[in-house]
Amino acid sequence: MKDLSLEKKASVIYTQIILWFAMAVLLTVFSIRVNALVKEVPPKKEYDVSQLGKYVTLIGDSISHQSEKEIKEALPGVDFEAVSGIYFSGKNKYGKEGGYERLKKHSMRDVVVFMLGSNNGATAMQISDVVEYVGKTRKLVLMTTYVGGKEEQMKNTNSQVNRFVSKKDNVYAVDWYLSNFDDEKRFLLPDRLHPNQEGRQHFADLIKYEVLNALEIAE
């Protein structure tokens, strides 16, 4: 007669081997899937705050142009281009290229500061073009505009800017509108558009603050 106890032991051992093998396969598959889903977090980049402008490309119009000295002091080494009268994108009536077209001629740095929209407003499509061009790996700083006497243009432009800020994690805004809403005489010249001496410094400080915010630098 066969030894039933040996058969039972062999059966138990065989079953255990099958179970262990199956568990090993499942664990391997699970590990592969987890590794595929979990992205490795890259080390945080270190920034030299004393040379903050080295990480910034700035495109602007006359507001930035008149504040050039203050901006360059706030952002040493900034890649700076500001031209009076230019539009957010597209040529103005004098044939000057817009900010979007000018941005394409720059080697974009970590943060793109796009201080435009005062001269002719900005549509959702125009802002979207800049957002898409800058991409997801860089930070984009837009601005809300303040143009005395052009309330409808301001409202439309600023609502679009705020919408993109709320939708995109890498989009920020200098709130120039809020700075002038309650008391436009404090920071603006009588034309209700361009900054006075105090306004130029305030404008530069706002830009620096948002650059630090975008780069997650506490100062």
Q: Are residues 130 and 208 in the same domain?
A: yes
Task: Report the chain's mean pLDDT, rounded to a whole number.
Answer: 89
Helices 151-167, 124-134: axis angle to 10 degrees equals 40
Q: Are residues 18 and 53 in the same domain?
A: no
DSSP H or E stretch at residue 139: strand 139-144
Report the pLDDT value the prediction gives residue 99, as an integer from 0 to 100: 98
Report how many domains make up the chain. 2
Report the pLDDT value the prediction gives residue 5, as an integer from 0 to 100: 65
pLDDT-above-70 percentage for the chain: 81
pLDDT top residue among 23 and 72: 72
Residue 218 banded pLDDT, cuts 50, 70, 90: confident
Contacts of residue 62, defined as CB under 8 A and 6 or more positions apart, other chains included, come to 82, 83, 84, 85, 118, 119, 194
Q: Are residues 34 and 55 in the same domain?
A: no
Report if residue 94 sits inside a domain.
yes
Report if residue 149 sits inside a domain.
yes
Phi, psi of 63 (to 5 degrees): -65, -45
pLDDT at 38 over 50: no
Q: Are residues 62 and 148 in the same domain?
A: yes
Q: Provide mean pLDDT across the span 52-72.
A: 98
Q: Which domain holds residue 29?
A: 1-41
Q: Are residues 35 and 62 in the same domain?
A: no
Report if residue 219 sits inside a domain.
no
Report the pLDDT value the prediction gives residue 36, as an integer from 0 to 100: 53
Are 102 and 114 contacting, i.e. CB atoms less than 8 angstroms apart? Answer: no
Residue 175 banded pLDDT, cuts 50, 70, 90: very high
pLDDT at 132 over 60: yes
